[in-house]
Amino acid sequence: MDSRGHSECLAQKSERRRVSFVPAPPLGPKYKTGEGSRLPSKPLSYTIEAAICSQNGKRSITQDELDTIRQEYENLKLASPSDAARVVVPEWNDFNSGGASVHFTSDQMLYNNPYVTKAPYNQVANVTLDHYHELADDVWNEYNRLLGTPGVPGKFPLDAGSTWRNPQRNEVSSLAPYSMHVRGRAVDLEPLKTAFVPGKTRQQLMCVLYQAGLNLHLGQKNKAIPDDTELFAEVGNDNVDDQCIRVDVDHIHFAR
């Protein structure tokens, strides 16, 4: 069509102008422990088509990795109505490259989470989601203080089994949809398996680790007023509360 024709076309009251935008995000099924995925979620993608007179346009918009993660928090509201009111969806600038803490390497803090693999998103850490870095260091310091001789800090390493979890990943294992792990406020720690401490069994070390949590005023056992800190001995994903000496306890969960 020549330009005159095109102008005439645009001037007409036109049924020939058409814009369609039909987003159809899949509603997530209700939260159910054991479902979810350790792998990256599928990004949502929309196609927008517009046609005016003879001109057509078509664009696809696909979520990037950050928005895919943010979408998981939105989905969590739908999938877990009981948590909907308190779920906080991270903002874009809530994410940064995170990294190591004082006592834990970046890999330990990332704990083999294949979800976020690319810099700068290889670790999600921010004002709302990175509390676990400082928490892990505080526990390390207290655990080493307990194991060291007075005045001589110990050098007994810990390993981090789980830190921040995106909601999809959390659903694989956690009974709590909006777990402290999803909020970036929890860390699961255990004595490094290859680091032996003379005179202590692994289970005794678990109890030293648990005691470090008590000393940091975590959990509700030593509090008059419960708040949202947590301290549990755990066997896999099962909370066995304060039974750190059980031979099957494999980590201690800390949150604040």
The residue ranges that bind Zn ion (CB under 5 A) are 186, 188, 253
DSSP H or E stretch at residue 67: helix 65-79
CB-nearer residue toward Zn ion: 142 or 188: 188
CB-nearer residue toward Zn ion: 68 or 115: 115
From the CB of 252, what's the least distance to Zn ion, in Å?
9
The two structure tokens encoding residue 180: 């402290």
Block residue for tokens 């899949």: 26
Residue type, 117: T
CB-nearer residue toward Zn ion: 68 or 179: 179
CA angle (212, 217, 220) in 5-degree steps: 115
Residue 21's DSSP bridge partners are 48
Contact 53, 10 (CB under 8 A): yes
From the CB of 135, what's the least distance to Zn ion, in Å?
11
DSSP H or E stretch at residue 5: helix 3-11
CB-nearer residue toward Zn ion: 87 or 160: 160
Q: Cα–Cα distance between 84 and 177 in angstroms, integer?
A: 10
From the CB of 56, what's the least distance to Zn ion, in Å?
52
Which residue number is nearest to Zn ion in terms of Cβ? 253
Q: Cα–Cα distance between 242 and 228 in angstroms, integer?
A: 17
The two structure tokens encoding residue 188: 């699961």
Helix and strand totals (H; E) in the chain: 6, 8
- Whats the size of the chain, residue-wise? 256
Q: Cα–Cα distance between 226 and 224 in angstroms, integer?
A: 6
From the CB of 236, what's the least distance to Zn ion, in Å?
11
From the CB of 237, what's the least distance to Zn ion, in Å?
8
From the CB of 41, what's the least distance to Zn ion, in Å?
21
CB-nearer residue toward Zn ion: 186 or 249: 186
CB-nearer residue toward Zn ion: 77 or 251: 251
